[in-house]
Amino acid sequence: MPHTLTFRQTTLRVVRKPLANRFSYSAIVFLTVLLLLGGCSKSNYPVSSPGANTNSGNEPTQRPYTIKNITYYPIPHAHGFTERGVASWYGKKFHGRTTSNGERYDMYAMTAAHKTLPMGTMLLVKNLENGKETIVRVNDRGPFVRGRIIDLSYTAANKLDIVQHGLAKVQIVALADTTQLAASASGKKPLPDLYHGEFYVQIGSFSRRDNALRLMKRFTDAGHSALIKTHQGLDRIYYRVHVYAGNELSIAKRAEAALIQHGYNGAFLVAR
């Protein structure tokens, strides 16, 4: 059935197609939602490569380490980091023990363990099973169990309603990096505002650059800003299409939800 959408006083007639062929339809719907929510346009970006190394790598917590014959390599910075997987939590048994960055583990604090993120990284954690969200600070390493991406403190897990079941599928998004937090702790800069910044939604990841360019062009032709970030995988380069979603976390999260609702099931938020 044809659908009629009103977009800035222009009436468009759109015919729904199978998911694989609905990029234009979803792009128009998403842009309409962004404008209604107050998302701003930015100048278009070129294809870009991952950010430069902003961490000296001299900190002990940034050195490679081996657990159960597996070597982990902490990443140099958390800019644009996002990940989906299973979350677990740890509590009373570890309460008071020393964490990987030298702090004492406090099961009632809003902290978490991650295998490779820089210490001090602030993460927005969303329970994908119930929609609940919270913010935690990375101060420990783990979990070293296959398939799990983050270990939450008891209080953080409780806020996400994970304690009873023990595990949940989550999405994590880095909101601030360790260099910002170190400056804040030293008094040189105020604590970074985690709810404002530059937020994007990743709408696709391709092994072929031309496919990524075509998807990006549909959004830029409709008047919104999009960019392509290259990512070096194990055996190939991936081209990830990001669409600017505003400078407020609440608006960006609603844009992400709208995009998922309209066919981009793998879309997720990225903070810069």
Predicted pLDDT at 156: 96
CA-CA distance, 25 to 10, in Å (whole number)?
15
CA-CA distance, 80 to 131, in Å (whole number)?
21
| Domain ranges within the chain, ordered by starting residue | 25-50+195-271, 60-176
3-class secondary structure, 195: coil
Predicted pLDDT at 198: 81
pTM: 0.54
User: What is 25-50+195-271's CATH number?
Assistant: 3.30.70.1070
The phi, psi pair for 221, rounded to 5°, reads -65, -30
Predicted pLDDT at 24: 46
Predicted pLDDT at 51: 32
**Burial category of 11 from C-beta neighbours within 10 Å (exposed 0-12, middle 13-18, buried 19 and up):** exposed
Q: Which CATH class is domain 60-176?
A: mainly beta
Q: What's the length of the chain?
A: 272
Predicted pLDDT at 60: 84
Query: What b/e string do you get for 192-210 counting C-beta neighbours within 10 Å, with b at 16 or more?
Result: beeeebebbbbbbebeeee
Predicted pLDDT at 81: 86
For residue 87, the cross-strand partners are: 150, 168
- In degrees, to the nearest 5, what angle opens at C-alpha 236 toward C-alphas 234 and 238? 105
Tens of pLDDT along the chain (272 residues) come to 433 333 233 222 323 333 333 444 444 555 555 544 444 455 443 443 333 333 434 578 888 888 888 778 788 888 778 899 999 999 999 999 999 999 999 999 999 999 999 998 999 999 999 999 999 999 999 999 888 999 999 999 999 999 999 999 999 999 876 555 555 554 555 555 666 778 888 888 899 999 999 999 888 887 778 899 888 776 788 898 999 888 888 888 888 888 888 788 778 777 77
